Chains A and B, each alone.
Chain A
Amino acid sequence: MDLTLKVWRQDGPNTPGEFKEYEANGISEDSSFLEMLDVVNENLIKAGDIPIAFDHDCREGICGMCGVMINGHPHGDQKGTATCQLHMRKFSDGDRIVIEPWRAKGMPIIKDLVVDRSALDRVIEAGGYISVNTGGTPDANLIPVPKAAADAAMDAAACIGCAACIAACPNSAGQLFTAAKLAHLNLLPQGQPERYRRTVAMVDKMEEFFGSCTNHAECEQACPKSISISTIAMMNRDYIVAKFKDRRKAGQT
């Protein structure tokens, strides 16, 4: 199939960017979206141009490294699919595809389609863990975890940290990413001792980088792992409880 690409090109964080058009001809329908970009890049290199920089790694939809806006949708408009798992058979011959980087103040552009997502690491560092040191832990079966809790925790833990939720949000809010990690840990018995402390620390850190949630729910639509915005409700509840009743001190659940 033959396609026309309109791609955002930007040399560095402090240089102005612009859209440029490229032809992508003879693309196989069985190729992934990123393999299509590989073909374009190989041709650019041969022609003496600079290839389009984009982040990618596992190409199995699990590492969370890839992600671009495709025709205005993070990872394209196929539900529950990361950019690397999007295949060209979802497009038609002659299509014109607009490709842009994630755009949010908390995620500055490094080059072309590559952005700096280290703010997400800062949010995890603020409290996205259970404080246990290596060794001396009790037998794994000593703490039974209800299957429903383990399953719900796993649903939230499936987050790949790609930041599509933030790119999708008109406010560039980081709620779904933060809430997914909080739900994973706060739903498990092991996560209870730090539940309220963790919630406040992560939410406060998140707000240093990202906007506010006004319930657009675009994030849920964009999430390649289909993580539910009900996690945000849980986060908000825990945050309120922590702030107003100050259960952080008691470590109560």
Chain B
Amino acid sequence: MTTLDAKIPEGPIQEQWTNHRFDINLVNPSNKRKYEIIIIGTGLAGASAAATLGELGYNVTVFTFHDSPRRAHSIAAQGGINAAKNYPNDGDSVFRLFYDTVKGGDYRSREANVYRLAEVSNEIIDQCAAQGVPFAREYGGLLDNRSFGGAQVSRTFYARGQTGQQLLLGAYQALARQIALGTVKLYNRTEMLDVVVHDGHAAGVVVRDMVTGEISSHSAHAVVLATGGYSNVFYLSTNAMACNVTAVWRAHRNGAFFANPSYTQIHPTCIPVHDEFQSKLTLMSESLRNDGRIWVPKDPEDIRQANQIPEEERDYYLERIYPAFGNLVPRDVASRAAMRMIDQDRGVGPLKNGVYLDFADAINRLGKDVIEARYGNLFEMYERITDEDPYEVPMRIYPAPHYTMGGLWVDYNLMTNVPGLYAIGEANFSDHGANRLGASALMQGLADGYFVLPYTIADYLADWLNAPTVPTDDGAFQQAEAAVKDRLEKLLSINGNRTVDSFHRELGNIMIDKCGLARSREGLEEALDAIPKLRMEFWQTVKVPGTNATYNPELSKAARVADFLELAELMCRDALEREESCGGHFRIEHQTEEGEAKRDDVGQAHVSAWEWNGYGEPATHHKEPLAFEYVKLAQRSYK
């Protein structure tokens, strides 16, 4: 075990980012064109980084497995993006956004990174407004804000219930402009299957053209992974079907440390599962908790329709238990409270697996028109899926896997421990600690892509001025290509009797049961026993139809599930070794008398970063100690 150095700049936190930008190396404008940078992924982080680096003059190559950069799953983010503008004049500040984010993350994030995030948050809003993102406006033409969980100020900017879509289109359009100008080259329907490390430095990637099956190598001076999170390890999650851990996992297998893999977020407001054929879960934005009230019947035997249950027989449990924050407690707290209600058999709906989110009071108070203007598209989406009209009957919601705070370990410059390999957006671990607050993912993705990476990458690149990239006929690339081809051939040749989806579903069941909302030593040990067996079965009995020579989505899926089967084990191991409860990581052995998460700030105030030691070998546990100088450690209280 070694102790990791995050390279946090010296000085007071308010001056660190400013000083750091002065202290690091720069690449002069005419030299930028001598550098090649590869970016994987075109979500908020990847598209904004690619556009910005292209504008600066670097030669950028971007890969996406989608047919267009605009499809990345950032597009599905609904509620909004935080910034410390304090436009509503309600007492917000950079320091308050920083403080709320560290507290919301249950004191398991790195102070310096979070402060920088809060600092650049305002620039993001300026940037997006200039790009023409159609944010919601007041009648006077100025920007509107709304509230989100874990904050007592209104700091969330939004574009109806489609904020992620509009921010992504802004970044995509900026990227399209650079593609037209020739500074960025885009490869669509191309998936990254390996990172190539040469002489200790990231040298490029091996990719596969998903239409033709062609495997090729691409070299660069630096490689940036912006490939999102890994919630699909749970099979059913709010992630899009194609979201996967492959790029990040391949980097991990090539030496990059994986940090806090067990920090996963279960989002409290998803539409409940209806039956076994369900392929994914749909989120209902947290913003709905601004106006919706969450409740269950007081009596578990009560099977009346929601509208027939009188007020005094309802338990508005969040308002009862957490009067200060009420329905706007952070996600981990809301999810666990819902789970407790369902465990007490007070769940609602045909499978008794949900709680009510009720808009009747808000509609009475504000009128249907106002509610429709705020959430119309979400209500419509709900109606499409459930065949129920949320203007008339309360929504039913259920906690479901949504976001992963864990990811590749990065230092203050967003570089992994492999020099020249960067991770940005959800793919890294950096800013949300053990629980992400609502409307902070969009903020972080764009902060990393627009305002952090484009500065910090120069610090590394400056040392490589006039150095050629590693040629793709080098042994390192040839070996990686051969390994990728072998693996795909192997998957196609097993020709067993079980589909990829059946393995993915079984893995998901293990993970949600043993490494989901509540975790126990016993359960995690069972999972650590079951996962390697399932993985072995996968490699013996999976059936992947078709060939590599044509468009074959089942082959891509098989390779991704194979990686999930490796990641799952690391998640359980991390959850087992973190002997405390914090944020989204809830170990039932560590809770207060009231059932709240109980941290161990003496023994566990660190980032866990895991080093790959080979297939089937236990990973090595490294630690980065977390120091809290500006935020006072306390048990989170939202009461």
Segment touching B, from A31-39, A211-219, A238-246? A31-39
- B169 at interface by CB-CB < 8 Å: yes
Smallest Cβ distance from B246 to chain A, in angstroms? 15
User: Which residues in A have their C-beta under 8 angstroms from that of B131?
Assistant: 129-130, 132, 190
User: Which residues in A have their C-beta under 8 angstroms from that of B179?
Assistant: 121, 125
Closest 8 CB pairs of A and B: A144-B141, A129-B173, A140-B129, A137-B130, A154-B134, A125-B180, A134-B52, A111-B551
Interface string of A220-248 (1 = CB under 8 A from B): 00000000000000000000000000000
Segment touching A, from B33-41, B120-128, B329-337, B604-612? B120-128
User: Which residues in A have their C-beta under 8 angstroms from that of B87?
Assistant: 141
Question: Is B68 within 8 A of A118, CB to CB?
Answer: yes
Known contacts A81-B384, A146-B141: does B130 contact A31 (CB below 8 Å)? no
Interface string of A36-61 (1 = CB under 8 A from B): 00110010111011110101111111
* Consensus secondary structure, chain A interface: loop
Interface string of B101-134 (1 = CB under 8 A from A): 0000000000000000000000101111111101
Q: Which residue of B lies closest to A34 (CB)?
A: B279
- B396 at interface by CB-CB < 8 Å: no
Question: Is B140 within 8 A of A60, CB to CB?
Answer: no
Question: Is A133 within 8 A of B55, CB to CB?
Answer: yes
Given A85-B384, A140-B143, 20 other A-B contacts at CB below 8 A?
A42-B501, A44-B545, A45-B543, A63-B75, A63-B76, A64-B71, A65-B71, A111-B551, A121-B186, A124-B172, A132-B130, A133-B52, A140-B85, A150-B134, A150-B137, A157-B169, A158-B162, A184-B134, A185-B132, A190-B131
- B91 at interface by CB-CB < 8 Å: no
Known contacts A35-B278, A57-B73: does B136 contact A150 (CB below 8 Å)? yes
Interface string of A151-188 (1 = CB under 8 A from B): 10110011011000000000000000000000011001
Question: Is B242 within 8 A of A57, CB to CB?
Answer: yes
Can you list 27 contacts pairing A with B, beta carbon distance less than 8 Å?
A: A28-B274, A38-B501, A45-B543, A57-B66, A60-B76, A63-B70, A64-B71, A65-B71, A110-B211, A118-B188, A121-B186, A125-B176, A130-B132, A132-B130, A134-B55, A134-B454, A135-B123, A135-B450, A137-B129, A138-B126, A139-B126, A144-B140, A150-B136, A150-B137, A154-B134, A158-B165, A188-B132
- A70 at interface by CB-CB < 8 Å: no
Question: Is B125 within 8 A of A140, CB to CB?
Answer: yes
- B594 at interface by CB-CB < 8 Å: no
- A87 at interface by CB-CB < 8 Å: yes
User: Which residues in B have their C-beta under 8 angstroms from that of A80?
Assistant: 380
- A251 at interface by CB-CB < 8 Å: no
- A99 at interface by CB-CB < 8 Å: no
Q: Which residue of A lies closest to B551 (CB)?
A: A111
| Bound Cα distance A190, B241 (Å) | 35
Interface string of B136-152 (1 = CB under 8 A from A): 11111111000000000
- A30 at interface by CB-CB < 8 Å: yes
- B499 at interface by CB-CB < 8 Å: yes
| Bound Cα distance A179, B127 (Å) | 24
- B282 at interface by CB-CB < 8 Å: yes
Interface string of B261-277 (1 = CB under 8 A from A): 00000000000001101
- B280 at interface by CB-CB < 8 Å: yes
Contact partner of B381 among A45, A61, A150, A185, CB < 8 A?
Answer: A61
Question: Is B71 within 8 A of A140, CB to CB?
Answer: no
- A250 at interface by CB-CB < 8 Å: no
- A145 at interface by CB-CB < 8 Å: yes
CB proximity to A under 8 Å, residues B167-222: 169, 172-174, 176-177, 179-180, 186, 188, 211
- A114 at interface by CB-CB < 8 Å: yes
Question: Is A190 within 8 A of B132, CB to CB?
Answer: yes
Contact partner of A124 among B128, B162, B173, CB < 8 A?
Answer: B173
Contact partner of B141 among A48, A85, A147, A190, CB < 8 A?
Answer: A147
Question: Is A89 within 8 A of B387, CB to CB?
Answer: yes
Task: Report B's interface with A, CB cutoff 8 A.
Answer: 48, 51-52, 55, 66-71, 73, 75-76, 85, 87, 123, 125-132, 134-143, 159-160, 162, 165-166, 169, 172-174, 176-177, 179-180, 186, 188, 211, 240-242, 274-275, 277-280, 282-283, 380-381, 384-385, 387, 450-451, 454, 497, 499, 501-502, 543, 545-546, 550-551, 553-554
Q: Which residue of B lies closest to A225 (CB)?
A: B377
| Bound Cα distance A53, B125 (Å) | 40
Task: Report A's interface with B, CB cutoff 8 A.
Answer: 11-12, 27-28, 30-32, 34-35, 38-39, 42, 44-46, 48-51, 53, 55-65, 80-81, 85-87, 89, 110-111, 114, 116-118, 120-121, 124-126, 128-135, 137-141, 143-147, 150-151, 153-154, 157-158, 160-161, 184-185, 188, 190-191
Smallest Cβ distance from B172 to chain A, in angstroms? 8
User: Which residues in B have their C-beta under 8 angstroms from that of A124?
Assistant: 172-173, 176
Question: Is A57 within 8 A of B177, CB to CB?
Answer: no
User: Which residues in B have their C-beta under 8 angstroms from that of A138?
Assistant: 126, 130
| Bound Cα distance A188, B174 (Å) | 17
Q: Which residue of B lies closest to A65 (CB)?
A: B71
User: Which residues in B have their C-beta under 8 angstroms from that of A117?
Assistant: 67-68
User: Which residues in B have their C-beta under 8 angstroms from that of A130?
Assistant: 130-132, 173
User: Which residues in B have their C-beta under 8 angstroms from that of A146?
Assistant: 137, 141
Question: Is A141 within 8 A of B143, CB to CB?
Answer: yes
User: Which residues in B have their C-beta under 8 angstroms from that of A128?
Assistant: 173, 176
Question: Is B127 within 8 A of A137, CB to CB?
Answer: yes
Smallest Cβ distance from B357 to chain A, in angstroms? 17
Question: Is A190 within 8 A of B129, CB to CB?
Answer: yes
Known contacts A35-B277, A57-B66, A125-B176: does B160 contact A85 (CB below 8 Å)? no
Question: Is B134 within 8 A of A59, CB to CB?
Answer: no
Q: Which residue of B lies closest to A61 (CB)?
A: B381
Q: Which residue of B lies closest to A31 (CB)?
A: B277
User: Which residues in B have their C-beta under 8 angstroms from that of A62?
Assistant: 75-76, 162, 165
Contact partner of A57 among B125, B172, B241, CB < 8 A?
Answer: B241
Q: Which residue of A lies closest to B161 (CB)?
A: A62
User: Which residues in B have their C-beta under 8 angstroms from that of A111?
Assistant: 550-551
